[in-house]
Structure 1
Amino acid sequence: MNKHSKNIRQQLIQLLPENTRAFINTDEFSNPQLNLARNAFLEGFHTSLNLSEENLPLLLDQIPNNKLGFFIEGAGMALTLHDELTPRGEALLPKFLTYATPIELKFSAIGTGWASARLKKPITWMPDHVMPQFQDDVINGYGFYEALFNRHRLKSKNYFSDLALESDSFDLGLGRSLWFIFDAKIPPILEVVSRVKAERQKLIWKGIGIAASFNQNHAKKALLIQSSGSFLPCLNSGCEIGRNLIDEINKSNKLKHYG
């Protein structure tokens, strides 16, 4: 590792805590499943920056299933930031993904979307080494980040309409983000969702369903169903996607370890 790359890593390690206060919930009554996801993201961010290049490809085999999604998103964000801020090669993200399965590539692309938003790239920006089929996932991560760190905009009517027009995936990520911003508390989520047009509400409800299901917030299911009203099919669609993601993680890890 050259000196410049090492300095970039250290700067990124210091950067994250300053910029993720909105992501961490220190309330002792906060949702435990979401705290697991939050901590996994931060762990992935820091661990990936602290590992040597030769050990990066081995990291994916060391992540427990219940942390895998957000851990990889955190690593994807950190390593994308590193690669964009480090000139003349030494790209770390491709090394991390050397043995990645399709589901792991998907989560990493979401993390790349976090980095893209952090760097204020165009919403359709893609690093050269991220395959085109994962562009929707990059934009999903972009939407998550924008809502999380610009939540003041959620108070406006038709918030983020400029970005949402670019891709439906933006609002899927925004919906997932709302689940974390409000710590799975449904009344404030409903208030925010109501501020946009119905077509966007469909996508946001789908994103909420993905987050609730993937993070296994089963205790919220009845109230979510009741609260979604005419958007119940969108919520259900998102919940199914969340369940499928969990299944893909489990199947992927079985194939890795048992061939």
Structure 2
Amino acid sequence: MSSALRLLRRRILVPDIGETKLKKRGFQEKDAASAQLLETVGEYFLTGYAHAVESRTPAEAETRLEEVPARFRGFAYEGAGMGFAVLDGMTFSGLRRVKTFLGGRGGRHNYMVYVGVGWAMARLPRFLWPRSESLDPLLLWLVHDGYGFHQAYFHTERYVHRQAREDRFSWPAGQDAYAARAIDQGVGRALWFVGGTDVDRVVQLVERFPEARRADLYGGVGLAATYAGGADESELRELCDRAGAHRPQLAQGSAFAAEARIRAGLLFPHTESAAQVLCDTTAERAAEISRETRPTGTEPGPSPAYEVWRRRIADTFVFHGGVAS
């Protein structure tokens, strides 16, 4: 494909960066530093998306992705995952580009790439969605997380303020109940952005949802607070206190984020600090817990292996006056 055609493809497919501005989205602005952080995350997500849709091959995109500042590189890989999934859907090629990407450097960012596939599904008509059987049966639920984040981020009134829920997602077939829960985990992650990393505002948003949905929402909040950052230790301690009975789920999300960053070699002080508060242990130990509890095959019972995994992690963090075992 010529450079002119690749540039045209970028102009057609890549959203305007103005769509990521907090004022445009109507999100909370806690302070200038937090607003800049969240907008920079959005900027580099779109950078990664653009690299994917205008590159001739995933390998070419990887070279450019590695030039993104390390703190934001994971978000760029997430955007690239979306970009490749959109191209795969539009060309009826299954997930050929996505799988090639995961077979290269994208494999270190596999959690983020799967989330990016969910973003793509939120933008593609259903007949272009990939077959669920083509994805890792454990990680495919991260696709729902990405879908939920997208819907809460871009359709905030419906999914956040009116608490709409995807009760008939039917992907994979027959898994509607858990699909709705996995989508809620992405909605929870988006609440960290909608609330502008302001703990009081984020908790208020969570508490507007029915109690039955809050555990999954807090899991998403913990993941975003740890992976993206934006809150200091005192704010994170307030988050722990206000999560109450859902603190183990908050820690589970934090452990997932620590593992995602460490796997990619992108551990930063904000992730270490968040793990210390939300998990009451180091980021490395939180990541180890995530790896140690990961299912190795199909788990017996009604819950998907992914939910068994999340529950094992949450159960590890038994809090007694702020101390985890």
Q: CA deviation at 1:238?
A: 1.8
Tell me the equivalent position of 2:56. 52
Amino acid at match of 2:248: P
Tell me the equivalent position of 2:185. 172
Amino acid at match of 1:202: A
- Percent identity (aligned): 23
Are residues 227 and 149 of structure 1, via their aligned partners in 2, closer, same or farther at CA, if it must alter by over 3 Å? same
CA contact (8 A) 2:221 2:253 kept: yes
CA RMSD of aligned residues (A): 3.4
Are residues 151 and 165 of structure 1, via their aligned partners in 2, closer, same or farther at CA, if it must alter by over 3 Å? farther
2:116 maps to which of 88, 111, 116: 111
Are residues 132 and 234 of structure 1, via their aligned partners in 2, closer, same or farther at CA, if it must alter by over 3 Å? closer
2:236 pairs with 1:221? yes
2:29 pairs with 1:10? no
2:122 pairs with 1:86? no
Amino acid at match of 1:155: H
Amino acid at match of 1:173: G
Are residues 84 and 128 of structure 1, via their aligned partners in 2, closer, same or farther at CA, if it must alter by over 3 Å? farther
CA contact (8 A) 1:72 1:108 kept: yes
Q: CA deviation at 1:25?
A: 7.5
Q: CA deviation at 1:210?
A: 0.6
Tell me the equivalent position of 2:43. 39
Tell me the equivalent position of 1:147. 152
State TM-score, norm by structure 1. Answer: 0.79
Tell me the equivalent position of 2:281. none
1:29 maps to which of 29, 32, 41: 32
Q: CA deviation at 1:99?
A: 1.1
Return the alpha-carbon distance in structure 1 between the equivalents of residues 95 and 254 of structure 2: 39
Q: CA deviation at 1:160?
A: 1.3
Are residues 35 and 100 of structure 1, via their aligned partners in 2, closer, same or farther at CA, if it must alter by over 3 Å? same
Return the alpha-carbon distance in structure 2 between the equivalents of residues 107 and 215 of structure 1: 12
Are residues 94 and 24 of structure 1, via their aligned partners in 2, closer, same or farther at CA, if it must alter by over 3 Å? farther
Return the alpha-carbon distance in structure 1 between the equivalents of residues 103 and 26 of structure 2: 30
Aligned length: 249
- Stretches of structure 1 that go unaligned for 5 or more consecutive residues are 253-259
SS in 1 for 2:221: helix
Are residues 240 and 16 of structure 1, via their aligned partners in 2, closer, same or farther at CA, if it must alter by over 3 Å? same
Tell me the equivalent position of 1:256. none
State TM-score, norm by structure 2. Answer: 0.65
CA contact (8 A) 2:77 2:106 kept: no
Are residues 23 and 165 of structure 1, via their aligned partners in 2, closer, same or farther at CA, if it must alter by over 3 Å? farther
CA contact (8 A) 2:94 2:130 kept: no
CA contact (8 A) 1:143 1:170 kept: yes
